Amino acid sequence: MSNGVLEVSNDNFESEVVNSEKPVLVDFWAEWCGPCKQIAPVVEEIADEHSDRLKVCKMDVDANRETAVQFGIRSIPTLLIFKNGEVAGAQIGAVSKQQLLEFIQAEI
- Catalytic pick from 33, 42, 47, 57? 33
User: How many domains is the chain partitioned into structurally?
Assistant: 1
- Catalytic pick from 8, 25, 26, 36? 36
- Would you call 33 a catalytic residue per the annotation? yes
pLDDT greater than 90 at residue 2:
no
Residue 15, domain CATH: 3.40.30.10
The one-character DSSP state at 78 is E
Residue pair 43/96 in contact (Cβ under 8 Å)? The answer is no
- Among candidate residues 90, 84, 91, 24, the one with its CA nearest the CA of residue 56: 24
Q: How far apart are CA 102 and CA 65, in angstroms?
A: 28
Q: How far apart are CA 36 and CA 16, in angstroms?
A: 21
What's this model's pTM, rounded to 2 decimal places?
0.94
Q: Structural domain of residue 13, as residue ranges?
A: 5-107
- Would you call 57 a catalytic residue per the annotation? no
Interval 74-92: pLDDT, tens = 999 999 999 999 999 999 9
- Among candidate residues 80, 75, 106, 93, the one with its CA nearest the CA of residue 8: 80
Q: What is the pLDDT of residue 1?
A: 53
